[in-house]
Structure 1
Amino acid sequence: MKERKLTFIDLFAGCGGLSEGFLQSGYFEGLAHVEWELPMVETLRNRLISKWKHTDDEAKMRTVYFDIQKTEELINGNWTVETKKKFALKNHELIVNKGLKGLLNNEKVDIIIGGPPCQAYSIHGRATDKNSMRYDYRNFLFESFAKIVNEFKPKVFVFENVPGILTANPGGIPIKERIYDEFHKIGYKILTPSELNKGLFDCSEFQVPQNRKRVLIIGIKENSKFDLNDFYKKIFEKANKVNKKTVKDAIGHLPKIMPLPTPLKIEGKNVSHFSKKNNYDFHVARYHNVRDVKIFKRWVEEKMNYISHHEKVKFYEEMTSKKTLYSKYRSLEWEKQSYTIVAHLQKDGLMFIHPDSNQARSITVKEASLLMTFPDDFKFCGSNAICYKMIGNAVPVLFAKYISESIFEVINNKQKITNNK
C-alpha cells in the first residue's frame, strides 16, 4: 500500500522557494499556496504545471492570488464586491466562492508553512525607516498566519523569518513575545521568547552557497504527541559546517557575459554586455554605464572588498564625484559563499559584483537564482527587476528541502513508534 503524502499549505508563498523544497523531498503534497503579488503567483503556477504535472485548472485553483490580511474571506470565500474587483479574475471560481475551505473540502492539513514579509523585522529595514518600522503593518502579519493555523489545525507549522525578528520591538513590545502569545492563545506551543534564538540557522550549512541566517519558529499543538525539540534537533543534524558550497560551485559553469567596447541600443534597450554562447534563460546582464564597468573591473582586480571603509568611501567619491557615508560596492568571491541575496537587487547590483573582473558586471537573475538553489529548470515570470525581488525574498530551496525532510522524519518516526505499541 502506497504511503499517503503529508499535506501542506504555504502562506506568503512568493515564487515558491519553500513549496519547491517541500515538493522536492517527495514526502509532501501542496494543497494551497497563497501569495498576493501576481508575478510570483504566475511563477508558482507555471512551476506546478511544468514540473509538478498539475493541470492548468489545478494550478490556478491551488495557487491563490490574495491578500492574507482578508483572512476570513480567504478561508470562507464569499468575497465582497471590492475583493472580487481586485482578485477574482486571477483566481479560480472555487476560491472566490468557497475559499480555502471549499478547496480543501475537509481534506486534512498536516503542516502549514510560510515566511511573512521580513522588511518590518529586518535590522536593515528598521535602520532605514524613520520610525524603525514600529508602525509597519507587516509587523503583524503573523496574526493572519495564526488565524489560518487555528482554522485548519495542522500537526506542525513552520514560520520562517530573518534574525531581526529576535530583536524587533514594535509598540515597545518584543515581536517574539507577541508571536508567542498569539500562538499560545490558539493552543500551539513554540519556543519561548527567551529560547527562540535556538531556532537560528545558517543556510550555508545546508548546501546553500550563501551566508544567509534565518530563524525558524516551529509550532505544535499544546497536547501534541511530538516533542518540539525533536524537530530542531533533526534539522541541526543535517547541517554540514565543513563542506560548504561556494559561489564557484553554483555559478562557475555559466557562460561568460563580457562588456562590449561601446554600449549599444538593441531593440530599444541599452546593452552593455553580451555573450555569444548563452543558452540559459535569465542569464542576461543588466545595463551598466561605462563608468560602472570600469569601477567593477578595478574593484575585483584590486580586491577592494578588503580595503578600509574610509578608502571605500574615498574611492566612490573619486570615481563618481558624489559624497557618501556608506560603502557602495562589494564583489562576490569564487571560493567563498555569496552574501545574502536580497530583494534590493531589483534596484541595482552594486553590492553583488561578479567575481570575474573581466566580466565587470553585477550578477544576473540566473546567477541570483542558483545562489538561492533554485533548480536550473525553474522559470520566473516578470521583468528582471521583479525576478530579482522574488528571488531575494524567497527561502533557499535546498534549505527548505532539508526542513521538509526533517519534519517528515520526526512525524514518520513518531507514528511508527505509536503504531508498534
Structure 2
Amino acid sequence: MKVIDFFCGCGGASKGFELAGFEVTLGIDFDKNAAESYQTNFPNAQFIQADIRNVKVKHVAEKVSDWKNSDLVFCACAPCQPFSSQNKQRVSSDDRRSLLSETKRFIRALRPKFIFIENVPGIQSIKLADNGPFADFLHFLNRFEYQYEYRVISSEFYGVPQQRKRLVVLARLNGQPTFPLLTHGMDNTRFATVQDYIGELPPLQAGEVDPNDSLHEAAVVEPHNIERLMHTPEGGDRRNWPAELWLQCHKNYSGHTDVYGRMRWDAPCKTLTTKCTSISNGRFGHPDTAQNRAITFREAALLQTFPKDFQFKGNRAAKSKQIGNAVPVLLAQRFAEVMWNQLHEQEDRDG
C-alpha cells in the first residue's frame, strides 16, 4: 500500500501514514525548503520538486514502481491560504484556488483506492454551487466511482494537543469510506495537553538554544516584550498587563487577545500558524512563567505531533512555515489506520 503525497510540505501527512504501516513512495511540492525537509525525513521516498501544474501523470507513474499492482493512497492537502478565515484579502482570482483540481488528472489515470484531503474550514463553503472548486471536485469523484464523505473536525478529539479545526475529505474507490472514531474528549477521556508533549523539554530563555537539539531554539524577544511576558500568567494575555504596557492599537480594541498570550499546561494549545514561534502572532508564549519567550521549533513540532527526531530545513521563517502548514501527524495516522483496516477487510472478503 503506497502513498503519494501531493502538496506534501515537510511531510506531516506522510509521517502519519508511515506510522500506520503504509509505504511512503512519493512526495510532491514546489517549496525548496519543504523539499529538503521531506527528503531528509523520508530518504527512501522519491520526490518531485515542482509546481503541480507542471507535473505530468507520466512523471508520477515513473517514480512509483509497480503502481499498477499496488493499492495507492493519495494525500492531497493543497495550500489553504486562499480559503482561510485569517486571509482577509481572499479573491476569486487567486490561482491557488484551483490546485486541488490539478489532482483530478492523476486520480483519473492512477485510480487510487483512497484519497485523503485536509484543508481549512471554508473551502467547502466558498462557491459551493456547481461552479465552485470544491463542488466541482466532488462531482468529479462521483463520475469516477468514488464515494466520499467530508466533515469539519477538530484535532484535539483525535489526541492532538491542539485545537485545530480542519475540513477532512475521505474518498474511496467503489466503496464508502469510514471516519475514525473520536479518541479524546469523550466518555471522560481527557484531551492531550501541552504538558504531555513539551513538558519535559529543557527550559530556555529568549535567544537560547538547546546544545543537544538545534531546533529547540527560542527566538530573541525585545526587552519591552520580555516585560510584557513577565506580567502574563500561564494562560494569560495582554488583559493581565498594567496599562502602561498596552500597545496603542489595543487601547480601544478588545479583540485578538491571543496575541502575546501564553499557552496553558493543562489544555491543548490554540491553532499553530506559520508564525507560531513568535509571541506577536498568537497565543504562542511558553506556559512556564519562568520562561519568557515564544515556543521553539521543536516545541511547535511536538504540538503538531511530529516525532522528536523529525528535522526541518531552511531559515527561521521557513521552519515555522513548514510546521504551521503541516497536517498534524497523529491526525493523519488516525485516518490512515482506518484506511488500512478497510483495505484489509476488503482483501479478506475478496479471498
Q: What is the TM-score normalised by the length of structure 1?
A: 0.75
- C-alpha distance 246-322 of structure 1, shift in aligned 2 (>3 A): same
Which one of 326, 340, 343 corresponds to residue 274 of structure 2?
Answer: 343
The equivalent residue for 1:385 is: 317
Gaps of 5+ in 1: 1-5, 77-98, 259-271
Which one of 91, 103, 111 corresponds to residue 145 of structure 1?
Answer: 103
- C-alpha distance 212-111 of structure 1, shift in aligned 2 (>3 A): same
Listed one character per residue, the Cα deviations across residues 143-177 of structure 1 (whole Å, up to 9, x for unaligned) are 11222111111111111111222322389955432
**How far off is 1:243 after superposition?**
2.6
Which one of 329, 332, 347 corresponds to residue 260 of structure 2?
Answer: 329
Further displaced range: 141-150 or 337-346: 337-346
Other structure's SS at 1:21 match: helix
Residues 13 and 34 in structure 1, CA contact (< 8 A), matched pair in contact too: yes
- C-alpha distance 346-361 of structure 1, shift in aligned 2 (>3 A): closer
Q: C-alpha distance in 2, partners of 1:301/1:207?
A: 22
**How far off is 1:336 after superposition?**
0.7
- C-alpha distance 109-103 of structure 1, shift in aligned 2 (>3 A): farther
The equivalent residue for 1:165 is: 123
Listed one character per residue, the Cα deviations across residues 26-84 of structure 1 (whole Å, up to 9, x for unaligned) are 2x1122111110111111111123xxxx3xxxx4xx01111101243xx23xxxxxxxx
The equivalent residue for 1:43 is: 37
Superposition CA RMSD, Å: 2.5
**How far off is 1:303 after superposition?**
3.1
Pair member with larger Rg: 1
Residues 22 and 401 in structure 1, CA contact (< 8 A), matched pair in contact too: yes
Letter of the 1:227 partner, please give it.
Q
The equivalent residue for 1:262 is: none
Instruction: Map 1:187-266; keep pairs closer than 5 Å.
Output: 187-191=145-149, 196=150, 199-221=151-173, 224=174, 226-228=175-177, 231-232=178-179, 235-236=180-181, 238=183, 241=186, 242-258=189-205
Give the fraction of aligned pairs with identical amino acids, expressed as a percent.
Answer: 25
- C-alpha distance 415-247 of structure 1, shift in aligned 2 (>3 A): same
The equivalent residue for 1:10 is: 5
**How far off is 1:105 after superposition?**
4.6
Q: C-alpha distance in 2, partners of 1:296/1:145?
A: 45
Listed one character per residue, the Cα deviations across residues 5-25 of structure 1 (whole Å, up to 9, x for unaligned) are x11211010000010111112
Listed one character per residue, the Cα deviations across residues 235-284 of structure 1 (whole Å, up to 9, x for unaligned) are 125555323210011111111112xxxxxxxxxxxxx5436x65223111
- C-alpha distance 154-320 of structure 1, shift in aligned 2 (>3 A): same
Q: C-alpha distance in 2, partners of 1:175/1:119?
A: 14
- Does residue 155 (structure 1) correspond to residue 113 (structure 2)? The answer is yes
Q: What is the TM-score normalised by the length of structure 2?
A: 0.89
Listed one character per residue, the Cα deviations across residues 322-348 of structure 1 (whole Å, up to 9, x for unaligned) are 567443332210001000111133666
**How far off is 1:110 after superposition?**
1.9
The equivalent residue for 1:68 is: 52
More helix per residue: 1 or 2?
A: 1
- C-alpha distance 237-412 of structure 1, shift in aligned 2 (>3 A): farther
**How far off is 1:101 after superposition?**
2.1
Letter of the 2:120 partner, please give it.
V
Other structure's SS at 2:318 match: helix
Which one of 286, 300, 303 corresponds to residue 233 of structure 2?
Answer: 300
Further displaced range: 327-336 or 177-186: 177-186
Listed one character per residue, the Cα deviations across residues 298-353 of structure 1 (whole Å, up to 9, x for unaligned) are 12269347x5xxx88x95x8434456744333221000100011113366654211
